[in-house]
Amino acid sequence: MRTLTLHKADVFNGYLVLVNRAHPIKPSRLKSANTLAPCLAMNDEVLLERRAAASLNQLIDEVGCRKQIVSVSGFRSKEEQEALFSNSLRQNGRTFTEQYVAYPNCSEHQTGLAIDLGENQDVIDFIRPSFPYTGVFAQFRTLAPDYGFIERYGQGKEAITGISHEPWHFRYVGYPHAKIIKQHDFCLEEYIQFLYDYPFSGQPYTFSERETQFDISYIRAIEPFTTIEIPERSLYQLSGNNVDGFILTTWSAPQ
């Protein structure tokens, strides 16, 4: 068996962190510049976390939509989020702003894992870009979970997420989590809650695809350090949930 030591401080790190009004970002855990990469082109001023950016480019290439889809907004600093929020308050009012713009330190854009995409047009709305459910945009949505992306703020989930439906906003959570979220029609809040039913001490949630079985479990972070054991030959990913613990994903390489 292999021993893993989990640091409670890392609850605020990882691809599955839940960021909303109830669970803001810890300022000490914000992305640094060396973890970010241009989103869709080498000279793109829109940045994403490196793995998320690489996955997005692979997805765009598979769909073949570089001319139709453009990056609108990716990583934002706290200062940029504050400016966006205050400017929208002044221009659009509080009701609109609270529906479509997250409070500073409550925005996924500050993690580097969220991207607003838009239809390539002469005029693009920075807050609500057009991203239809037809053509290459529909193809993008269909394939997005294979590359770790979910449409973060779906229709009918407003009461849970606290944000209005945003067809343009995609969040990187990684594979296979994006596939599971899509299959169950979850928002991220619901997925984090769902995984509480699969504690590490019990049976994991299993997901099988591509001849690989993934075992997913929740580990509560109570003490400063938590030690667990996993099979020696298992591959694994570990992410904090930005709430109270970790999500462990293990799998074996295909033989």
Q: Quick: pLDDT tens for 19-61.
A: 999 999 987 666 666 799 998 876 679 999 999 999 999 999 9
> Do residues 139 and 239 share a domain?
no
Report the alpha-carbon distance of residue 168 to residue 83 in Å, rounded. Answer: 21
Q: What is the pLDDT of residue 21?
A: 95
Residue 55 contacts by C-beta under 8 Å, 6 or more apart in sequence? 147, 148, 149, 172
Q: Which of 40-44, 131-135, 235-239, 240-244 has the lowest average pLDDT?
A: 40-44
Mean pLDDT, range 172-185, rounded to an integer: 98
> Do residues 47 and 111 share a domain?
yes
> Do residues 155 and 29 share a domain?
yes
Domain membership of residue 109 as a residue range: 24-172
More confident residue, 47 or 253: 47
Mean pLDDT, range 108-132, rounded to an integer: 95
Any domain includes 180: no
> Do residues 4 and 47 share a domain?
no
Q: Which of 40-44, 91-95, 153-157, 186-190 has the lowest average pLDDT?
A: 40-44
> Do residues 155 and 213 share a domain?
no
How many structural domains comprise the chain?
2
> Do residues 5 and 88 share a domain?
no
Strand segments (E) across 137-195: 149-153, 166-172
Residue whose C-alpha is closest to residue 247's, from 232, 233, 237: 237
Q: 255 pLDDT exceeds 70?
A: no
Instruction: Please answer whether residues 47 and 75 qualify as being in contact, where contact means their C-beta atoms are separated by less than 8 angstroms.
Output: yes
> Do residues 248 and 197 share a domain?
yes
Name the strand (E) or helix (H) holding 80. helix 78-92
Report the alpha-carbon distance of residue 49 to residue 166 in Å, rounded. Answer: 21
Largest CA distance in the chain: 59
Mean pLDDT, range 89-115, rounded to an integer: 94
Any domain includes 30: yes
Mean pLDDT, range 224-242, rounded to an integer: 95
The verdict on pTM exceeding 0.85 is yes
CA distances from 33 to 50, 68, 77 (A): 10, 28, 10
Q: 63 pLDDT exceeds 70?
A: yes
Q: 234 pLDDT exceeds 80?
A: yes
> Do residues 46 and 159 share a domain?
yes
> Do residues 46 and 72 share a domain?
yes
> Which residues are part of the catalytic machinery?
166
CATH number of the domain within which 2 lies = 3.30.200.180
Any domain includes 177: no
Query: C-alpha 151: how far from its chain's center?
Result: 9
Q: What is the pLDDT of residue 8?
A: 95
Give ∠ CA 229-9-232 in degrees, rounded to 5.
Answer: 15
Buried-state track 218-236, b at ≥16 Cβ within 10 A, e below 16: bbbbeeeebebebeeeeee
Any domain includes 178: no
Residue whose C-alpha is closest to residue 8's, from 225, 237, 255: 225
> Do residues 165 and 82 share a domain?
yes
CATH number of the domain within which 78 lies = 3.30.1380.10
> Do residues 79 and 34 share a domain?
yes
> Do residues 107 and 126 share a domain?
yes
